[in-house]
Chains A and B, each alone.
Chain A
Amino acid sequence: MDPAMSTFRSRAREALSASLEISAAWNRALRAGAIAPNAYLAPLVRRAARVGAPPVNSTPHRVVYTRGSMRLLRFEARVPTLRRHATPILFVYSLINRYYILDFLPGRSLIEFMCDQGYDVYAIDWGTPGALEEQMNWDEFLGGLMRSAVQWTLKISGAESLTMYGYCMGGTMALAYAALYPKGLRNFVAQATPVDFHEGGIFTTWTSPRYFDVDAMVDAHGNVPIDLMEAGFSMMAPVQRLTKWLEVFRRIDDPEFVTTFLAMECWAADNVPFPGEVYRQYIKDCYQENNFYEGRMVVGGRKVDLAQIRCPLLTLIAENDTIAPPASSTALDAKVGSTDKTTLRFPVGHIGLSTSSKGPKQIWPKVAGWIAAHSEPLEST
């Protein structure tokens, strides 16, 4: 066959298969009513850059406990590593988005890094809240789900205490837990955790009772729907939400950049509904009235008093954070009862603490070092 004709045929075949694949993906996105650009643009970019789906959340793990939608996961190092620390780490992620931003990509995963450092690593995956979680309140989340997760972590690892590692809103929840149930906690790491909500940036303005009636929302919807959460995040930078894709178009020949970008977009678009009653109290007690910071928040009939946290505390601040602005996180130091307090600041954004290329080189070694210094070595157990 004529080589030109053969090339033409193979290109035509490729174009046909590409158009079929992309139209099928768009059809799925339209049927699901997706509003995130990722649903429509990712198939285009993947095809043009000839990269596969980004390998997010790939550190080997198994489910060791479940309750409702919640799962407790135990992670293992990809290359068998000798466990060096008796004190396990329990990651507590936010109820917004999914936990696997902490296990982003191979070589850029905080969880993978900690496993490689010889820690026994666990994480709470809140799953996808449904009708079962709609009526659950903070007391049931903290005293029920989180307490069980802590007990099972200790039971499986054989340790008497653990390092609780809270991130973002998960950090706020973990702090409330540590204040109410300090038993079994050896250390606390608060990563990009909002504490003083009057310093909460744009979210404090948007959730002000002048504009936003949280009761009306929860009474109408139960769980906060994905679309509403998505719309809120889009409003933070509506133009950049679309134009950032143009940068990927320009760097389409750089598969590593494309894969990292797609991984981030895949995670950002993977929203889950927010449990309704937890959201109601979160907005009122944190953003609207700042009760969490002022020690007036009541969970299960008990006041959340941060001064009850007496274990060593590490606060991680992202200097360019607009979700948990530094002023909101640094306020924690003055509130806790701990005497051993350390604050580390890094020139990254909110997500950058977990996904930045600086993570494995500059950020995580310092964090792992602090935890190691405050953990029980395995030999002594």
Chain B
Amino acid sequence: MTDRPITERPPRNLLTQLLLGLGYLTDPKSRPGKVFHRLETGTSAVFERLAHNHTFLGLAGKGLNLGFMVRRSMTASAEAWLHAWRSPTLGDVQAMRTQLRQLGDRLEVTQTQLELALDALARVEAGLRTTAANQPPA
């Protein structure tokens, strides 16, 4: 799972020592870590309350919807402008893409049906061979 055997312990580099130091400072068992832990618990509780708060969720939702509306209006104006210049737009390309995908799907269905027909023919052929083999020679 790792680059080296687990038993091997190379000397710690500066970065390792730095991260270990950070880990110690925030360890709930260490003195500074206890303070950090209280801070973490408090902040988590605030976010937990926010995640269920109707006012916050309402505001966040309104903000999001406003962003979506702005984006949609910008896209619509860009498309209208391009259409005025008789240029193909992203919407036109997407419509073409959808048609191509549907064509691909139809080909897929035809392929499956052909395969099923071939399987059925192979079964009929095998059946005919067996019948011919079982018939006594004339």
Query: Using a CB–CB distance below 8 Å, which chain A residues touch chain B?
Result: 11, 14-15, 18, 44-45, 47-52, 54-55, 67-68, 105-107, 131-132, 134-136, 140, 144, 148, 151, 202, 205-206, 208, 210-213, 216-217, 219-222, 235-240, 243, 246-253, 255-256, 258-260
Contacts and interface: CB of A to CB of B under 8 A. Distances in A.
Contact of B15 (A47, A148, A260): A47
21 contacts: A47-B15, A48-B16, A54-B1, A131-B97, A135-B94, A136-B101, A148-B112, A210-B61, A211-B60, A216-B69, A220-B69, A235-B47, A235-B51, A239-B40, A239-B47, A246-B26, A252-B23, A255-B3, A256-B1, A258-B2, A259-B1
A49 B97 CA distance: 47
B4 interface: yes
A240 to B, nearest CB: 7
A250 B61 contact: no
A121 to B, nearest CB: 21
A contact patch SS: helix
Interface of B: 1-4, 6, 9-10, 12-16, 18-20, 22-24, 26-27, 40, 43-44, 47, 51-52, 54, 57-58, 60-61, 64-65, 67-69, 71-72, 75, 93-94, 97-98, 101, 104-105, 108, 112
B15 A243 contact: no
A216 B65 contact: yes
A259 B1 CA distance: 7
B108 A148 contact: yes
A66 B107 CA distance: 14
B58 to A, nearest CB: 6
Given A68-B101, A148-B108, A211-B58, A246 B69 contact: no
